[in-house]
C-alpha cells in the first residue's frame, strides 16, 4: 500500500497509541473528581495542557481541548464573535477557508453578524490588498487558515496580522492551522489557532483551540463547566495526553521530513504531460501537491491508482464524496476543463522515496491509457 492521502487523515503513530492506552488504563478517573485518582488524572491533564500550549508557541495561553479541527473552528468563531459583539459585527475570512469555518460563518450571519469574505488570487493565496480594503475599526474577528487543505497554498499570516493590528486593533485574529502543524513553523500573528490531532499522526476525535493569554471568548457548549467553563463535558484525559505526544513527535520531525524534495521531484515529473497543470503557486506547503488533468474526472485517476495500491484524493476528502464543485478551485478560477480532474497527493511520516518512484511509474501508465482513448 502507498498512502498519499495524509491531508485527509494520517495513520496514528504507534507511540501515540501507546500513550493513549497507558493513560486510558491508569488515568481513567474523572479529572473533576475530588479523590486521589481524580487528582492524578487532573495532574496528567494539566501537564498535557501545558505541553500543548508550549508546542503551539503560546506558553501562557488558554487551551480548549476539542473533538477535532471542526469543533475548534466552531468554538473559535462562535466564541470570539459572541464575546466581542459589543465592539462591532464585522467578521472577515478568506474565501478558501475549510467548510468548518465557512459554514459556521453562515450561522453567524443568521445571528446578525456581517460576514465578509476576502478574495484569493489564482494561486489560492489571500489577496492582502483586498484584506486591507475590507478591514475596518469595527472588525471583531478575522479568520485565515495557514495552509489550504486542497491546494497546499500557504497564507501570508504575518503580513495579514500586521494589517489587522493597524486597521482593526480590536479584532481577534484566528487561524486554522490544521494542515500546517508539524509541517511548517507556526507564524507569528494569530491570537488563536485550531489544531486536529489526526492530521499529524495523532488520533481522530481530538484537537484543540489555543488562544493567547487574555483573549476573551465565550463557550458554545454548555453543561458542567469543565475546562474553565469554556467547553463542558468530562475531559478526555487520555486524548489530551495523546494530543500532546502527537504534537511533540510532529514538532521534532518537522525539519527532517523530505517532503519538499518529493514534491519538487513530482512537479518536474508532472511537467512532462501537456494535459496536466500543477495547482497553486510554486511556494505551496511541502506535503501537499494538487494537480489537474484536463478532460478527465479526478475519481477516474483515484480509482486507477487504487488498482495499484496507491491511495490519493480528489481535491479534498470532504468534497470528494459530495461531488459538489470545490469552492477553493472556483475561488482560484481554475479553468473548467481542468476543474473536474483534480487529484491531491499528501505525504506523511510513513512515506518513503521508493513510493514516489513507484507512483511515477504507475501514473505514467495511467496517462498513456487516457491518451489512447
Q: How many CB atoms lie within 10 A of CB 354?
A: 9
Q: Which stretch binds ligand PLP (CB under 6 A): 63-71, 112-120, 250-258, 350-358?
A: 63-71
Which residue reads 498535557 in cell numbers? 48
Shortest distance (Å) from residue 222 CB to ligand PLP: 21
Which residue reads 491533564 in cell numbers? 45
**Which residues are within 8 A (CB) of 39 and not within 5 positions of it... i.e. 6 or more apart?**
33
Q: Which stretch binds ligand PLP (CB under 6 A): 85-93, 173-181, 264-272, 335-343?
A: 173-181
Distance CA 4, CA 10 (A): 9
Residue from 12, 31, 69, 124 in contact with ligand PLP (CB under 6 A): 69
Q: What angle do CA 216, 219, 221 make, to 5 degrees?
A: 170
Residue closest to ligand PLP, measured at CB: 69
Q: Which CB atom, from 69 or from 161, has the smaller least distance to ligand PLP?
A: 69
Q: Which CB atom, from 198 or from 248, has the smaller least distance to ligand PLP?
A: 198
Distance CA 250, CA 257 (A): 10
Site for ligand PLP in 88-107 (CB under 6 A): 98, 100
Which residue reads 495542557 in cell numbers? 49
Shortest distance (Å) from residue 160 CB to ligand PLP: 16
Shortest distance (Å) from residue 179 CB to ligand PLP: 5
Report the SS3 class of residue 30.
Answer: coil
Q: Which CB atom, from 98 or from 248, has the smaller least distance to ligand PLP?
A: 98
- For 257-318, the DSSP string reads --HHHHHHHHHHHHTT-TTEEE-S-SS--TTEEEEEETTS-HHHHHHHHHTTTEE-BSS-HH
Residue from 84, 149, 168, 175 in contact with ligand PLP (CB under 6 A): 149
Q: Which stretch binds ligand PLP (CB under 6 A): 13-21, 171-179, 214-222, 331-339?
A: 171-179
Site for ligand PLP in 199-258 (CB under 6 A): 207
Q: Which stretch binds ligand PLP (CB under 6 A): 136-144, 176-184, 232-240, 339-347?
A: 176-184
Shortest distance (Å) from residue 75 CB to ligand PLP: 12
Distance CA 292, CA 111 (A): 39
How many residues in total does the chain contain?
373
Site for ligand PLP in 338-367 (CB under 6 A): none
Q: Which CB atom, from 10 or from 168, has the smaller least distance to ligand PLP?
A: 10
For the chain, give the longest Cα–Cα distance: 72
Which residue reads 488558554 in cell numbers? 62
Q: Which CB atom, from 52 or from 367, has the smaller least distance to ligand PLP?
A: 52
Q: Reply yes or no on whether 110 is catalytic.
A: no
Shortest distance (Å) from residue 57 CB to ligand PLP: 19
Residue from 10, 62, 70, 315 in contact with ligand PLP (CB under 6 A): 70
The catalytic residue among 254, 318, 362, 370 is 318
Shortest distance (Å) from residue 191 CB to ligand PLP: 18
Q: Which stretch binds ligand PLP (CB under 6 A): 38-46, 52-60, 174-182, 319-327?
A: 174-182
Q: Where are any strands of DSSP class E within the chain? A: 2-3, 62-66, 90-94, 114-118, 139-143, 172-176, 192-196, 207-211, 276-278, 288-293, 310-311, 342-346
Shortest distance (Å) from residue 166 CB to ligand PLP: 27
Closest residue by Cα to residue 238 from 5, 31, 3, 6: 31
Residue from 155, 196, 227, 290 in contact with ligand PLP (CB under 6 A): 196
Q: What angle do CA 253, 257, 263 make, to 5 degrees?
A: 150
Distance CA 230, CA 222 (A): 8
Residue from 12, 68, 219, 341 in contact with ligand PLP (CB under 6 A): 68
Shortest distance (Å) from residue 66 CB to ligand PLP: 8
Name the DSSP class of 168: -
Catalytic residues: 318
Residues that bind ligand PLP (CB under 6 A): 68-70, 73, 98, 100, 145, 149, 176, 178-179, 196, 198, 207
Amino acid at each position: 500500500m502507498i498512502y498519499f492521502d495524509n491531508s485527509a487523515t494520517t495513520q496514528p503513530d504507534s507511540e501515540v497509541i501507546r500513550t493513549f492506552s497507558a493513560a486510558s488504563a491508569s488515568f481513567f478517573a474523572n479529572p473533576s473528581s475530588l479523590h486521589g485518582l481524580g487528582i492524578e488524572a487532573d495532574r496528567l491533564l494539566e501537564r498535557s495542557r501545558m505541553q500543548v500550549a508550549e508546542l503551539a508557541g503560546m506558553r501562557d495561553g488558554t487551551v480548549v481541548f476539542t473533538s477535532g479541527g471542526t469543533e475548534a473552528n466552531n468554538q473559535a468563531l462562535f466564541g470570539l464573535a459572541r464575546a466581542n459583539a459589543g465592539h462591532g459585527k464585522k467578521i472577515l475570512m478568506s474565501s478558501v477557508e475549510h467548510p468548518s469555518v465557512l459554514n459556521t460563518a453562515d450561522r453567524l450571519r443568521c445571528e446578525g453578524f456581517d460576514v465578509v469574505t476576502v478574495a484569493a488570487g489564482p494561486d489560492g493565496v489571500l489577496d492582502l490588498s483586498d484584506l486591507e480594503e475590507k478591514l475596518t475599526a469595527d472588525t471583531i474577528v478575522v479568520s485565515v487558515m495557514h495552509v489550504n487543505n486542497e491546494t497546499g497554498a500557504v497564507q501570508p499570516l504575518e503580513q495579514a496580522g500586521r494589517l489587522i493590528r493597524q486597521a482593526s486593533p480590536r479584532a481577534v485574529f484566528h487561524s486554522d492551522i490544521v494542515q500546517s502543524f508539524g509541517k511548517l513553523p507556526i507564524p507569528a500573528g494569530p491570537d488563536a489557532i485550531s489544531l486536529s490531532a489526526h492530521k499529524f499522526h495523532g488520533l481522530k476525535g481530538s484537537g484543540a483551540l489555543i488562544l493567547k493569554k487574555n483573549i476573551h471568548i465565550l463557550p458554545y457548549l454548555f453543561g458542567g463547566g469543565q475546562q474553565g467553563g469554556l467547553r463542558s463535558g468530562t475531559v478526555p484525559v487520555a486524548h489530551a495526553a495523546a494530543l500532546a505526544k502527537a504534537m511533540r513527535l510532529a514538532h521534532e520531525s518537522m525539519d527532517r521530513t523530505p517532503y519538499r524534495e518529493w514534491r519538487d521531484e513530482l512537479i518536474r515529473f508532472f511537467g512532462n504531460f501537456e494535459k496536466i497543470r500543477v495547482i497553486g503557486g510554486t511556494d505551496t506547503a511541502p506535503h501537499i501537491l494538487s494537480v489537474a488533468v484536463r478532460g478527465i474526472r479526478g475519481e477516474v485517476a483515484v480509482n486507477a491508482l487504487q488498482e495499484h495500491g496507491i491511495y490519493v484524493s480528489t481535491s479534498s476528502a470532504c468534497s470528494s464524496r459530495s461531488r459538489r464543485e470545490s469552492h477553493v478551485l472556483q475561488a482560484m478560477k481554475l479553468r473548467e476543463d481542468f476543474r473536474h480532474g483534480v487529484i491531491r497527493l499528501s505525504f506523511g511520516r510513513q512515506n518513503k522515496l521508493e513510493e514516489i518512484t513507484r507512483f511515477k511509474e504507475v501514473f505514467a501508465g495511467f496517462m498513456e491509457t487516457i491518451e489512447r482513448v
